[in-house]
Structure 1
Amino acid sequence: MTALVVPVLEGEGIRLRPFVTADVGLIVDAGQDPLIPLITTVVTHGDEADGQAFIRRQYQRAATGEGWSFAVSDLDTGSAVGQIGLRRRDIRHGRASVGYWVGPAYRRCGYAGRALRLLTSWAGTLEEVSRLELYVEPWNEGSWRAAESAGYQREGLLRRWEKIAGGLPTSTSRHSRALPRLRHEEFLVFRSSGLRQSR
């Protein structure tokens, strides 16, 4: 696959950008969360070296063409508060999947919903993507509310969908959003409403 460029996107008081070394603390903190390490490559109770390895894996996703991984950062402070990514797993069918998490100290501030809306708007400029999908644990109210706030619709419960951390198969809810075809120039028009893209 062709290597991808991870852009910098801004809007709604947040910035989506590539991870940097200063974000290691957030990743280490995320490793203390009971769920994040089970559904991501964040190491449970990891240290600084594990955080650096996580950052390298995010860059590798773009280098191999697997997808884009962004740090979600607060526009005012510059501090990273979470992660959001777009994977091209089923791109030959026009589908891409979205995953996101917010660090425990930054929850209930609307970061997930804002990041998802910004990423979804940008994904509309990608010719190869016509549908976005995301998968949420049925009990994870914060995540499915973020999905709904970004216009995703719940399609149903996938029973015994996947094994998490080598355990038993667990069920998950699938949400999706069909994307309007936006030209890059149309996306840039959103600058006046607070959405900006930097290269």
Structure 2
Amino acid sequence: MFARSLGDDGAELRPLEPWQAAEFLAHIDRGREFIGRYIGLPDVITDLASAREYLRTYAEKAAADTGRVHGIHWDGELVGGVLLRTMDVARGIAEAGCWLEPSAVGRGLVTRAVRVLIDWAVDERGIHRVEWWVASRNEPSIAVARRLGMSREGVLRESYPYRGKRHDMEIWSVLAPQWRAARPTPAV
């Protein structure tokens, strides 16, 4: 297995695979209520079998080149994740997403991890457009989209039924040319 450093603070990005289901479930359990404020992941991951199935689905997506899931580890512990929920290489479109448990908030982990994911999608897979769908009330996720230089394209009003209520969803995106242009120039 490989790990990609996210800086000098002990943060790493690693693929999440089915054999890590117990660790994944323990992570979701630690942040269940916090993570579940805006996304349904904790409602899907309820036991070891569902954790394994979720990771298996993403292993199949990785094999089919239609998605990816990676864990954010901080000081060796799984504290969050980023994913390409969908990836259509032929059309050049992917949708990125994230989650984080409360112990890891405020360290810039999601922004750094999504940068790595978008770099890979654009540079290695030729993705032209990366989308970020976010509940309008999810200010931390919207802040990530802004830090990544994404543009807000619009709001789908009451389009997301979640936990008995309808929520507005915002769509943000970044295009490959603007992503490349915004990268820092490597030091020589």
- How does the TM-score come out when normalised to structure 2? 0.76
Q: Secondary structure of 2:143's partner?
A: helix
Report if aligned partners of 2:150, 2:173 keep a CA contact under 8 Å in 1: yes
- Length, aligned pairs only: 179
Report if aligned partners of 2:5, 2:12 keep a CA contact under 8 Å in 1: yes
Report deviation, 1:172. Answer: 0.8
The one of the two structures with greater contact order (alpha-carbon pairs below 8 A, sep at least 6) is 1
The reply to whether residue 173 of structure 1 matches residue 174 of structure 2 is no
1:70 is aligned to 70
Report deviation, 1:181. Answer: 9.6
Q: Tell me, which stretches of 5 or more residues in structure 2 are unaligned?
A: none
- Return the match for 2:6 from 3, 11, 17: 11
Larger % of helix: which?
2
Q: Kindly, what percent of the aligned residue pairs are identical? A: 25
Amino acid at match of 2:76: G
1:197 is aligned to none
CA gap of 1:181–1:105, structure 2 versus 1, over 3 A, is: closer
CA gap of 1:7–1:131, structure 2 versus 1, over 3 A, is: farther
What is the CA–CA distance in structure 1 between the aligned matches of 2:63 and 2:150, rounded to whole Å?
Answer: 28
What is the CA–CA distance in structure 2 between the aligned matches of 1:32 and 1:179, rounded to whole Å?
Answer: 35
- Return the match for 2:93 from 85, 92, 95: 95
Report deviation, 1:121. Answer: 1.9
CA gap of 1:45–1:162, structure 2 versus 1, over 3 A, is: closer
Amino acid at match of 1:17: R
Report deviation, 1:7. Answer: 6.4
Structure 1 segments, 4+ long, off by >6 Å, are none
2:58 is aligned to 58
Q: Deviations over 1:127-178 (max 9, x none)?
A: 431110011111111111111111212122122333335x454311111001
What is the CA–CA distance in structure 2 between the aligned matches of 1:44 and 1:92, rounded to whole Å?
Answer: 29
The reply to whether residue 150 of structure 1 matches residue 145 of structure 2 is no
Report deviation, 1:89. Answer: 4.4
- How does the TM-score come out when normalised to structure 1? 0.73
Amino acid at match of 2:12: R
**What's the RMSD between the two structures over aligned residues?**
3.3
